[in-house]
């Protein structure tokens, strides 16, 4: 189901002055080494379209709805001016942990990638322990398995990681029933680690199913995959669970969309995954949305034209992205027409 939103602008308004950028990452993350993104300026300011390359038009159309919502839709009404953020730790060797976490000044929460294909649980334990040592006993450490574990593997990992006192485990398994089973097994074994759902929200036909099933203690929500700030806030309200607002390795423009979403959530007990500009070797603005004292500003981004030129994707990649926007626009228009939306 694609989200509703503001009336679609003309396709030409999306494409005419758009830019496609390619931003290298400092460390490989979830198989990505260069992050590509489509940027365009709407009446509200700059906005971003950056679904991962493997997503088809049906899934990526929600991301385009978010692009339109942020650039052409109602202006967000933030409740706070800054948002607490976590450091993001790729699946690196334990010895590299301090140098990466120093890129997140003031962040006392670390999200650690685990279950990386080709690595072992021992690698995860060492990396998580290094993160715990860096933030100290008062810091918080969470792990994200991106659906790579089974139920049994999740429980084995949580037992092994227990000395690091996890804040929560994010999307350890693929399905809602498996998440529910993980929660039941955690309670039975007295482990007490909360379970967060990410892919079971942003990639689901029904993003509220996980909450209705009692399969998670909290939700990870992302503005782009959920169709924008307005529909994401609706999901947060209906789910009735605590949330973490996160990013998808966006440019600072996409991160600003996430920051406005986080700032609009009434209660925000967890640090958000919106400090990921620190993962990029370059950005599209001279004032990137980087963590400072453990927080990021809630603000629109002024894009720098020289940086857009410097980070421009090759011509064939630009053409690929423009075709992708056309396909998603057609998908979104069909969905709107079927429901009577403009």
Tokens, residue 131: 């993160």
Structure confidence by residue, pLDDT tens digits, 70-119: 999 999 999 999 999 999 999 999 999 999 999 999 999 999 999 999 99
Q: Is 198 annotated as a binding residue?
A: yes
pLDDT at 28: 87
Query: Do residues 47 and 257 lie in contact, with contact meaning Cβ atoms separated by under 8 Å?
Result: yes
Q: Give the whole-angstrom CA distance, residue 88 versus residue 83.
A: 15
Give the percent of the chain with pLDDT over 90: 93
**Residue matched to tokens 């398994």:** 173
Which domains does the chain show, CATH number per domain?
11-74+305-339 (3.30.390.10), 82-297 (3.20.20.120)
Q: Is 238 annotated as a binding residue?
A: no
Q: Is 75 annotated as a binding residue?
A: no
Structure confidence by residue, pLDDT tens digits, 28-38: 888 889 999 99
Per-residue pLDDT at 252 exceeds 90 = yes
pLDDT at 31: 83
Tokens, residue 192: 């007490």
Return the active site residues: 113, 222
Per-residue pLDDT at 340 exceeds 90 = no
Q: Give the whole-angstrom CA distance, residue 241 versus residue 49.
A: 27
Helix (H) or strand (E) holding 232: helix 229-239
Q: Give the whole-angstrom CA distance, residue 304 versus residue 286.
A: 7
- Coil, strand or helix: which one is 295? strand
pLDDT at 3: 47
């Amino acid at each position: 189901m694609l989200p509703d939103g503001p009336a679609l602008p003309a396709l030409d308004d999306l494409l005419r002055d758009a830019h496609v950028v390619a931003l290298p990452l400092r460390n490989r993350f979830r198989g990505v080494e260069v992050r590509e993104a489509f940027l365009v300026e709407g009446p509200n300011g700059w906005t971003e379209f950056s679904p991962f390359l493997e997503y088809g038009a049906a899934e990526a159309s929600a991301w385009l709805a978010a692009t339109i919502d942020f650039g052409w839709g109602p202006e967000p009404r933030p409740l706070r001016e800054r948002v607490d953020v976590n450091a993001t730790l790729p699946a690196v060797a334990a010895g590299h942990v301090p140098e990466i976490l120093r890129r997140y000044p003031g962040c006392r929460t670390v999200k650690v990638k685990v279950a990386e294909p080709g690595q072992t649980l021992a690698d995860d334990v060492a990396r998580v322990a290094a993160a715990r040592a860096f933030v100290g006993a008062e810091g918080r450490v969470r792990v994200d398995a991106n659906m790579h574990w089974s139920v049994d593997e999740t429980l084995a990992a949580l037992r092994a990681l227990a000395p690091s006192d996890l804040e929560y485990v994010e999307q350890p398994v693929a399905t809602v029933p498996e998440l529910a089973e993980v929660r039941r097994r955690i309670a039975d074994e007295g482990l007490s680690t909360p379970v967060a759902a990410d892919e079971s929200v942003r990639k689901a036909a029904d993003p509220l199913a996980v909450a209705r099933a009692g399969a998670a203690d909290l939700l990870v929500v992302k503005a782009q995959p959920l169709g924008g700030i307005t529909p994401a806030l609706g999901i947060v309200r209906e789910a009735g669970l605590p949330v973490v607002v996160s990013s998808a390795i966006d440019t600072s423009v996409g991160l600003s969309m996430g920051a406005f979403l986080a700032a609009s959530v009434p209660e925000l007990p967890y640090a958000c995954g919106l400090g990921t500009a620190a993962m990029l070797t370059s950005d599209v603005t001279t004032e990137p949305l980087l963590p400072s004292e453990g927080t990021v500003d809630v603000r629109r981004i002024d894009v720098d034209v020289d940086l857009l030129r410097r980070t421009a994707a090759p011509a064939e990649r630009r053409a690929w992205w423009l075709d992708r926007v056309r396909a998603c626009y057609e998908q979104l228009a069909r969905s709107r027409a079927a429901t009577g939306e403009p």
